[in-house]
Structures are given as C-alpha cells and as structure tokens.
C-alpha cells in the first residue's frame, strides 16, 4: 500500500499547486454503501462471515477530477470493508488507489494515460467499463492516442493491462480502431458510420505455463498447444435512411484458449466428464434494425454467438477478466417480480431475437410490446422466452396509470445451474399508479403478482412511495410467498426506507428483508444472497 499512498500524495500535492491557476476547475463525487447484517436463518441469511461474526460491511468510492490549462486529470480512492460484492458468500476488505488518469488534446491528437474506459463498436471484442453494483472494474491501465483524420474520421490505438481489483492481470492488451461517418450531401436522407477494430492479447509466462500443465494432464485427444498471442477483429456499420437505422457487427477471435463447461473431456478407462479448456475460433454476429416516426418506434435485434469467451486470463471465471461485452437480448425490466428472472448472456453458445414496439397516442396513451427469444446457437434448444405488454395512461400534472402483463419461460438448469429442474413458467400482471397531490407532494403505488409453479413459487409484491419534493422520499413495501414450493414456508419480506436529498447530496436508509436472487446489469449477472438488515447510502456530487 506504500506505493498507492505515494501516488495519492503526489497527485494531491499537484492539485494544491495547481489551485492557484485561474482557469482551474475541480469536481468530484463521494459514494458509500453500508450494510448492517441481521442473521435470519428462516430466509437463508446466515452461514456467511457478515452474519456470523462481522455484522457490518461497506464499500466507499471518492473521486476528484480537475481541468486546467488544457489538461484533464483525476484520481479515485476505493475502500472495501467486509464487502460481499466480490464474493456473495465471502468477505472482502481492501483499500487503495482505484483509478488515476491524465488527458490532453493537442490540435487533432488526444492523449490519455492511466486507468482508461473505452470500447470498440458495441463492445464485442473490447469494452473497458465499471459496474459498481457488481464490483466490476475492467479499466485498462495503460495509454491511448486518438487522432482526428477529418471532422468525420478518426483512428485510435491503445495498450495496457486490464485492472484486477488493485492489481492487473498478467496479459498485455493492444488495440486499434478506425471510426468514420459519410453522408453524400447535406440534403441526403441517408448516411453511414462504418468502423473496424483489432485486438491482440499476449499472455504472461505464468499463464502459459499453467495452461501447458493443464493440457498435459488431459488425454491426447483433448490436449492443446497454448499460444502466447490471440487476436480478435470486428467490423461494424450503422446505416441511417430517413426514419430507419440499421446497425450490423461481425466479430471473430482466433487461437484463443477458454474454458468450456459443456465440452466433454475424456478420462482413462473410457470414462468422461464435462468441462475442459479448449483452443479455437469464436464469432459473434449482431444486428439491430430500427424505425422511429409518427409516434411509432420499432426495434428488431438478432444475435448469434459461438465460442466467444474472451478474457484477460483464461483461468478466471464468472464475471472476472472479461475483455468482451456481448449485447444482451432481453428487456431490462424494472419492477421487482418482472425482473427476478433475467437471462445472463451466454458467451459460448447463444442465438437470440428481440422485438420491441412502442406507440403513443396524443399526450395520454402509450403502448409497448416486447418479446425476446433466446436459444442455443442453432436455435434448437430454448433458453429463455418473454412476452411483455404494457399500457400507460397519463393525465398531465394529475396522475399516471400503468398496467401490464409479462409471460416468461426460463431455463433454470442453464442460468441457475439447477440440474434436472423443469423450465420456469411465469405470468406476472402488474400495475403502477402515480398521483400528484400538488407540485411537491406525490404518491406512487406498485402491485405485482407472479404466478409460478416451479422454483420459488408464486409471490405478491406491494409498494408505496410518498415523495415531498425536493427533499424527502418515504418507501414501504412487502413481498409474500403465496404459493411456496419444495416444502418452504410462506414468509413476509418487508422493506421500509427513507431518502433525503439536499443540494447535490442524497442520503438513504432502509430496512430490508430480501430473498436470494440473481442481479443483472447489461446481461452480466451475479448471485445476490438473501439479505436481512439495514442498508445506508450516501451519494454526493461536488
């Protein structure tokens, strides 16, 4: 931690010296989440360190940014104390410099150094991003250069190592990306935005030696020759013509080693088991066709994925070390019961279609329909299916009513790893009512019911929020298992909370009792264990 402290001290001293500059601009943010764990064996909130002995856990981020004399720079310090974000059933404590960066533009050239966030195309071959709710921070520690060839065309190159908490993975990532825009004339009603990207990954000696040892333990039929280098390429384009837009991207990776949990590995005496490292080609085909005019919006998406698990270290699993980001193909639902089942993106084998339709009538009516169909790459085996219909009626400055119905079919063997269990089939009717008593007082009510004969059974959820603008928000909700399965008891899961806003700061305090589930963001999912206790948060921008 000494090196981390020296870096922070150096950067803080630099800020102090620059504070005399008349053109200095400084801004930042502070965020902390604190959990008080109250053991409750009835809902499964036990047998992890936080409930058994630690009682308290927290995560904190504070970042500071500045702009002076054409330079942009920033630092972020992270602090984790008994956090269960990294491992839902474990405890993680650490602190240190989470990010620093420096940026400078020189005529047509833009230079960046430090922990960088960027992506190529939609992110299929490369995306460096942060997702705090899942403790994902895939920043690239290195440098990048972007040059504007013209006002419509640019080329950028970057190199570095992917962040791994407070260290980096021992592989070196290099990339180059060309982006453009072409329109025949100002009066033309069509335009294209093409691009091409290339990524090279070089593994460190320790990774290659470990993979060689693993390959040597396999029977000859399953052995592979580890490569230091693997490459990926992506070609993409957006075509716009009047009310239509069409995006298409094709990505390939070559000679990459990854772990395939569904591949058959041969064992001595004719036996076999599932799961092995393999080496080979991977590809993703993705397209999105959209139409928007006359209060009507239609989006149709399609995707086929085969063997595209692309990581900074082939040996890591779940959400760690991901270089790739493959666009999800299911609706992002916001209600508690409609969002309980969500299909995590499958990197090795997935074929999917999604249709989204939105239509508005005047100032009062809005209709929406969404359907997702996710299967294996050959479209033979069903992974996930959803139909979602929603109607909203607005009476401006008075009230808003939303009603809808969701139908889901969910493969819990695939997504939850529950071997031998049947497909989950749910119906979820829901309603939301928002009423404005005045300019400062409002009431929002949600009601949802999940009919579910499999997995967790059927549930009812009720929520009421009362807001007093601009400062206060009060919340009260309950979730109840009306039809338990597998001999479980029907239990109430109440939540009560209060939020206070003042200036640029938001304070929150909630008592929460919550069932175990899967939390997803952008198709990336993690297990969230049952929770019982208090959650406090502070978010401030300055």
Total domains in the fold of the chain: 2
Given a contact cutoff of 8 angstroms between Cβ atoms, the answer to whether 175 and 198 are in contact is yes
User: In this structure, are 400 and 359 located in the same domain?
Assistant: yes
Q: How far apart are CA 215 and CA 223, in angstroms?
A: 5
Residue with the two structure tokens 């640019």:
154
Is 515 inside any structural domain?
no
Is 22 inside any structural domain?
no
**396 burial level (CB within 10 Å; 0-12, 13-18, 19+):** exposed
Is 448 inside any structural domain?
yes
The pLDDT assigned to 487 comes to: 75
Q: How far apart are CA 167 and CA 141, in angstroms?
A: 10
User: What dihedral angle (degrees, nearest 10) is formed by the CA atoms of 525, 526, 531, 536?
Assistant: -70
How far is C-alpha 238 from the chain's CA centre?
23
Strands 272-293 and 349-361, bridge-based pairing: unpaired
User: In this structure, are 265 and 373 located in the same domain?
Assistant: no
Residues 6+ apart with CB under 8 A from 404: 388, 389, 390, 391, 429, 430, 431
Is 359 inside any structural domain?
yes
Q: How far apart are CA 106 and CA 70, in angstroms?
A: 9
Closest to 387 (Cα-Cα) out of 327, 350, 428, 346: 428
User: In this structure, are 309 and 385 located in the same domain?
Assistant: no
The pLDDT assigned to 8 comes to: 53
User: In this structure, are 128 and 267 located in the same domain?
Assistant: yes
At 169 the three-state DSSP class reads: coil
Is 387 inside any structural domain?
yes
pLDDT per residue as tens digits for the range 443-481: 999 999 999 999 999 999 999 999 999 999 999 999 999
Phi-psi domain of 114 (left: phi exceeds 0; alpha: psi -120 through 50; beta: other): left
Per-residue pLDDT of the chain (542 residues; tens, 9 = 90+): 446 555 555 555 555 565 555 578 999 999 999 999 999 999 989 999 999 999 999 999 999 999 998 899 999 999 999 999 998 889 999 999 999 999 999 999 999 999 999 999 999 999 999 999 889 999 999 999 999 999 999 999 999 999 999 999 999 999 999 999 999 887 788 999 999 999 999 999 999 999 999 999 999 999 999 999 999 999 999 999 999 999 999 999 998 999 999 999 999 988 999 999 999 999 999 999 999 999 999 999 999 999 999 999 999 988 999 999 999 999 999 999 999 999 999 999 999 999 999 999 998 999 999 999 999 999 999 999 999 999 999 999 899 999 999 999 999 999 998 888 999 999 999 999 999 999 999 999 999 999 999 999 999 999 999 999 999 999 999 999 999 987 788 899 999 999 999 999 999 999 999 998 888 877 788 888 899 999 999 999 99
User: In this structure, are 275 and 398 located in the same domain?
Assistant: no
Q: How far apart are CA 199 and CA 191, in angstroms?
A: 27
User: In this structure, are 119 and 230 located in the same domain?
Assistant: yes
Given a contact cutoff of 8 angstroms between Cβ atoms, the answer to whether 410 and 392 are in contact is no
| Positive or negative: CA dihedral 163, 169, 174, 177 | negative
Is 100 inside any structural domain?
no
Is 72 inside any structural domain?
no
Task: List C-alpha distances in Å: 48 to 294, 304, 344, 531.
Answer: 55, 39, 25, 11
User: In this structure, are 288 and 307 located in the same domain?
Assistant: yes
User: In this structure, are 188 and 128 located in the same domain?
Assistant: yes
Tokens of 445: 């009510």
Q: Rounded to the nearest 5°, which phi and psi values hold at 209?
A: -65, -40
User: In this structure, are 292 and 342 located in the same domain?
Assistant: no
User: In this structure, are 152 and 121 located in the same domain?
Assistant: yes
Residues 6+ apart with CB under 8 A from 29: 61, 62, 63, 539, 540, 541, 542
User: In this structure, are 367 and 231 located in the same domain?
Assistant: no
User: The domain containing residue 443 runs over which residues?
Assistant: 333-490
Instruction: Report pTM.
Output: 0.91
Domain end: 444, 471, 490, which one?
490
Domain end: 450, 470, 490, which one?
490
Q: Bridge partners of 460? A: 449, 480
Q: How far apart are CA 531 and CA 37, in angstroms?
A: 8
Is 399 inside any structural domain?
yes
Task: List C-alpha distances in Å: 311 to 64, 262, 323, 410.
Answer: 30, 18, 5, 27
User: In this structure, are 417 and 285 located in the same domain?
Assistant: no
Domain end: 327, 353, 378, which one?
327
Q: How far apart are CA 61 and CA 524, in angstroms?
A: 22
Closest to 526 (Cα-Cα) out of 416, 422, 450, 418: 416
Cis amide linkage into residue 269, ω under 30° from 0: no
Given a contact cutoff of 8 angstroms between Cβ atoms, the answer to whether 62 and 29 are in contact is yes
Given a contact cutoff of 8 angstroms between Cβ atoms, the answer to whether 308 and 325 are in contact is no
Q: Rounded to the nearest 5°, which phi and psi values hold at 180?
A: -145, 175
pLDDT per residue as tens digits for the range 56-73: 999 999 999 999 988 999
């Amino acid at each position: 931690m000494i090196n981390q402290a020296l870096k922070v001290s150096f950067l803080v001293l630099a800020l102090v010296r620059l504070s005399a500059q008349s053109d200095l601009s400084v801004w930042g943010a502070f965020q902390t989440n604190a959990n008080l764990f109250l053991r409750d064996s009835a809902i499964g909130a036990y047998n992890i360190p936080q409930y058994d002995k630690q009682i308290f856990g927290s995560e904190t981020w504070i970042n500071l940014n500045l702009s002076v004399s054409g330079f942009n720079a920033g630092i972020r310090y992270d602090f984790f104390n008994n956090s269960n974000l990294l491992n839902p059933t474990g405890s993680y404590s650490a602190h240190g410099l989470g990010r620093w960066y420096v940026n400078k533009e020189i005529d047509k050239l833009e230079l960046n150094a430090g922990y960088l966030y960027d992506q190529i195309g939609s992110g299929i071959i490369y995306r460096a991003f942060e997702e705090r709710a899942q403790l994902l921070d895939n920043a690239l520690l290195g440098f990048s250069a972007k040059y504007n060839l013209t006002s419509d065309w640019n080329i950028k190159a970057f190199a570095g190592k992917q962040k791994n908490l407070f260290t980096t993975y021992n592989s070196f990532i290099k990339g180059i990306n060309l982006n453009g825009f072409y329109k025949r004339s100002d009066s033309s009603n069509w335009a294209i935005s093409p691009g091409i990207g290339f990524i090279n990954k070089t593994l460190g000696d320790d990774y290659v030696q470990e993979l060689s040892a693993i390959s040597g333990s396999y029977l000859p039929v399953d052995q592979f020759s580890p490569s230091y280098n693997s490459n990926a390429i992506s070609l993409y384009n957006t075509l716009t013509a009047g009310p239509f837009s069409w995006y298409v991207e094709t990505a390939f990776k070559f000679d990459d080693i990854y772990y395939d949990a569904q591949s058959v590995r041969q064992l001595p005496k004719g036996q076999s088991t599932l799961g092995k490292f393999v080496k080979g080609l991977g590809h993703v085909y993705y397209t999105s066709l959209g139409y928007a005019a006359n209060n009507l919006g239609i989006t149709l998406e399609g995707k086929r994925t085969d063997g595209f698990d692309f990581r900074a270290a082939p040996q890591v699993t779940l959400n760690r070390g991901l270089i790739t980001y493959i666009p999800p193909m299911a609706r992002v639902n916001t209600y508690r019961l409609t969002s309980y089942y969500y299909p995590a993106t499958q990197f090795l084998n997935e074929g999917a279609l999604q249709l989204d339709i939105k239509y508005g009538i005047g100032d009062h009516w809005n209709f929406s329909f969404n359907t997702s169909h996710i299967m294996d790459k050959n479209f033979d085996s069903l992974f996930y299916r959803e139909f979602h219909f929603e109607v909203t009626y607005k009476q401006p400055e008075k009230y808003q009513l939303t009603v809808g119905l969701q139908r889901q079919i969910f493969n819990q063997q695939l997504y939850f790893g529950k071997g031998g269990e049947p497909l989950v089939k749910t119906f979820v009717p829901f309603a939301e009512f928002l009423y404005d008593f005045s300019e400062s007082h409002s009431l929002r009510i949600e009601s949802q019911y999940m009919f579910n004969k499999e997995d967790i059974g059927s549930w009812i959820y009720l929520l009421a929020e009362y807001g007093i603008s601009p400062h206060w928000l009060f919340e009260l909700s309950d979730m109840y298992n009306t039809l338990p399965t597998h001999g479980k008891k029907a239990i109430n899961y109440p939540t009560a909370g209060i939020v206070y806003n003042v200036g640029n700061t938001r304070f929150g305090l909630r008592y929460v009792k919550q069932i175990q589930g899967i939390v997803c963001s952008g198709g990336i999912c993690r297990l969230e264990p049952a929770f019982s206790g208090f959650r406090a948060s502070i978010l401030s921008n300055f």
